[in-house]
Structure 1
Amino acid sequence: MSDMKSGRPGNRVRLEDVAKLAGVSMKTVSNVVHDYPHVSATTRERVQAAIDQLGYRPNLTARTLATGRTGMLALAIPEIDQPYFADLARHIGEEATRRGYRIIVEQTLKDLEAERAVIRDREEGLVDGVIFQPVRIDTMEIARLRPDTPLVLLGEGARPLTADHVMIDNVAAARDGMDLLLRQGRRRIGFLGMVRRDPTQSTHLRLLGYQESLLAADAISDPALVVETDWFGVDDGITALRAALDAGARFDALFCRDDLFAMAALRVLDRAGLRVPDDVAVLGWDDTALARYSTPALSSISPDKAAIARTTLDLLEDRMAGFDGVGRHRTVAHAIAERDTTAVSG
């Protein structure tokens, strides 16, 4: 095998080139490429060595014609540079790779037409299944445009009975986070932030859990403690919280919609001379890298992203294998990653 040059300059490496180098039939090479189980370990190793040496890449069109599958999945998320979605995309990508798929990631930027395009089978024929976190499109429209390509929905947005759906219980997670703060004796707990013109359901569900916990604990429920922001960025959170402090709002804890707003809170509180957690405890949401590496390290509500990925791929593979039943709704676990910003001294 060492006598053959690697690849064929100027030409695409063919299946028959791999077969010749490995000393096997083209059918055997195809079986290895498609991971069929009835190939001996010795033969598989020899074929894989030839593939590696020649740099062979299976022809996608030929594979699709032979198997009816592309081996590709689409992941449509609102923003690829938002820390939570970046984390989620990594977990889904890793899980897909373990199962033999490749992932195409696209961002919809919370645009309604872009979301409609995902549902309208824009990827039909290119991918075997679609994982999609909708924001603006409504339930009825998803049901009406139900694609032929297998689909699993993520998040707290539209979820028709016809579609599979994976999420965490945002209200319950918010209550758990609030209970942590309330057990520490915090009573003036602010919510950062209530995003104006927010197209998502996440903020409203988290705010609901926050409010339910205050009522149940007979803690202070003051509208001035709910800090409104113009949008989702760190700068939006900084501007809004600074304005609230300047207007006289006082907190002994801040329950933040996500880790980005928690970063904003840490910056504003530090500039205001308020110590975290002694003067004001801070709790984020999403448990992203921002939480783990901030100073002080941020406590954060932690969705089980690995479980979201596994559950999503389980449902999608069922659909790809022919399951055509009603939509299945799966709620994945959450936890609270307690770090320095909610630590109790003493």
Structure 2
Amino acid sequence: MASNGRVRLVDVAERAGVSMKTVSNVVNGYAHVQPETRARVQLAIDELGYRPNLTARRLATGKTGMIALAMPEIDHPYFGELARHVAEIASSRGYRVIIEQTLGDEAAERAVLRDREAGLVDGVIFQPVRIATLEIARLHRDLPLVLLGEVEAPVTTDHVMIDNVRAAADVTDHLLAGGRTRIGFLGMVEGDITMTNNRRLLGYQEALIRAGLPLDPRRMLTVGGFAPEDAAEAVRGALTDGPEFDALVCRDDRFAAGALAALREHGASVPDDVAVVGWDDSALAEWTWPALSSLAPDKHELARVAFDLLSERMNGVTGVGRHRIVPHSVHARASAPPA
């Protein structure tokens, strides 16, 4: 052990009875280490409290072994669950993850690409809200980057998403197959600048048109904010003053939870009177009453594809940005059971 008390690579090697090269391979996540050897080295690392020297690693390899995951809200169920998948996949490949919360602030989004992560990470997985496409292209330069969400990606930047138009149509088709004909959309948020809801609204409308049903703008509910209470308030208003509806497509599971509360207050039975479908298939969906049907993006696949693309960029892949669509499904539960 060094005189300053810092645990060194050689200390781990001696404790595990292996070479320093083997310890280095384990620390850097190389796949060809035998499982029993990896376990022995990891035990020594844990017992000694070894921490890699990131500065030394960067000098030796040009890499830090860290990536950043930048997202609008870390307390949103979808982003929290996505972060878990990214962290697990990154860890299995020998990387650690720095989580950045931008809150949809343009300056914070710009900082992710321009200076906040400079020299700290080898690449960034990023779901922007406000920053423009041209600015993304200008700021990230040689920083390996993969974008998530509905933002328009620069021509040289990789992009992973689900097909929100198709997904919204699939949710609406699920409700139509169950005999619903007066389906509402919850909802359009005042001041929302993202493209996500616009695409979901488009898919909802396309499904109704294919079914030969009229588009009633009054069933496309406007919501004052992003909280469940905002959604509940919009549903209360619609139940009191608006047109009748027998189903709701909700922008996320939090809105769906708010809708369920408002319907319960009104004495409406779910799903007998009104069927409700959320979005994101978060852990929340199984614990509402009744259990919530929800559009389920394949979050693990989204994280895997994003990390794979980023890994290739970090290892020198160049060229035109790649666009990947990952699967989704409708997870039917009691709030909108299968036909």
Alignment partners' CA distance in 2, 1:217 and 1:34: 54
Give SS of 2:194's match.
Answer: coil
Give deviations 1:80-121, integer Å, cap 9, x for gaps: 001111111111111111111111101000001111111214
Give SS of 2:118's match.
Answer: coil
Give the corresponding residue for 1:255. Answer: 249
What is the aligned counterpart of 1:118 among 112, 116, 123?
112
Give the corresponding residue for 1:165. Answer: 159
Alignment partners' CA distance in 2, 1:107 and 1:309: 17
Identify if the C-alpha distance between structure 1 residues 296 and 147 changes in structure 2 by more than 3 Å, giving closer, same or farther: same
- Equivalent residue pairs, number: 339
Identify if the C-alpha distance between structure 1 residues 9 and 288 changes in structure 2 by more than 3 Å, giving closer, same or farther: farther
Identify if the C-alpha distance between structure 1 residues 42 and 298 changes in structure 2 by more than 3 Å, giving closer, same or farther: closer
Alignment partners' CA distance in 2, 1:189 and 1:46: 58
Alignment partners' CA distance in 1, 2:186 and 2:39: 56
What is the aligned counterpart of 2:74 among 66, 74, 80?
80
Amino acid of the residue matched to residue 297 of structure 1?
A: A
CA contact (8 A) 2:2 2:8 kept: no
Give the corresponding residue for 1:229. Answer: 223
CA contact (8 A) 2:29 2:95 kept: no
Give SS of 1:53's match.
Answer: helix
Give SS of 2:140's match.
Answer: coil
Deviation at 1:196, TM superposition (A): 1.2
Structure 1 segment 48-63 matched on structure 2, within 5 A: 48-63=42-57
Give the corresponding residue for 1:4. Answer: none
CA contact (8 A) 1:73 1:129 kept: yes
Matched, 1:216 2:191: no
Give deviations 1:183-235, integer Å, cap 9, x for gaps: 22211111111111102111110011111111111213211111101111101
Structure 1 segment 13-162 matched on structure 2, within 5 A: 13-22=7-16, 26-27=20-21, 29-35=23-29, 47-162=41-156
CA contact (8 A) 1:137 1:158 kept: no
Ranges in structure 1 where 5+ consecutive residues have no aligned partner: 1-6
Give SS of 1:157's match.
Answer: coil
Give the corresponding residue for 1:287. Answer: 281
Amino acid of the residue matched to residue 85 of structure 2?
A: H
Deviation at 1:282, TM superposition (A): 0.5
Deviation at 1:241, TM superposition (A): 1.3
CA contact (8 A) 1:188 1:220 kept: no
Identify if the C-alpha distance between structure 1 residues 111 and 42 changes in structure 2 by more than 3 Å, giving closer, same or farther: closer
Give deviations 1:46-103, integer Å, cap 9, x for gaps: 5444433322222111111111111111000000001111111111111111111111
Give SS of 2:335's match.
Answer: helix
Amino acid of the residue matched to residue 11 of structure 1?
A: G
What is the aligned counterpart of 1:194 among 188, 192, 196?
188
CA contact (8 A) 1:131 1:152 kept: yes
Alignment partners' CA distance in 1, 2:29 and 2:208: 55
Moved more, 327-336 or 236-245: 236-245
Alignment partners' CA distance in 2, 1:11 and 1:230: 56
Alignment partners' CA distance in 2, 1:204 and 1:219: 20
Could you say what the CA RMSD is over the residues aligned between the two structures, in angstroms?
A: 2.2
Give the corresponding residue for 1:322. Answer: 316
Identify if the C-alpha distance between structure 1 residues 240 and 9 changes in structure 2 by more than 3 Å, giving closer, same or farther: farther
**Percent identity of equivalent pairs:** 61
Matched, 1:179 2:166: no
Give SS of 1:342's match.
Answer: coil
Give the corresponding residue for 1:3. Answer: none
Deviation at 1:26, TM superposition (A): 4.4
Moved more, 38-47 or 50-59: 38-47
Deviation at 1:141, TM superposition (A): 1.6
Ranges in structure 2 where 5+ consecutive residues have no aligned partner: none
Matched, 1:278 2:269: no
- TM-score normalised over the length of structure 1: 0.91
Give deviations 1:256-287, integer Å, cap 9, x for gaps: 11111111110001110110000001011110
CA contact (8 A) 1:121 1:149 kept: no
Amino acid of the residue matched to residue 289 of structure 1?
A: A
CA contact (8 A) 2:29 2:92 kept: no
- TM-score normalised over the length of structure 2: 0.93
Give SS of 2:73's match.
Answer: coil
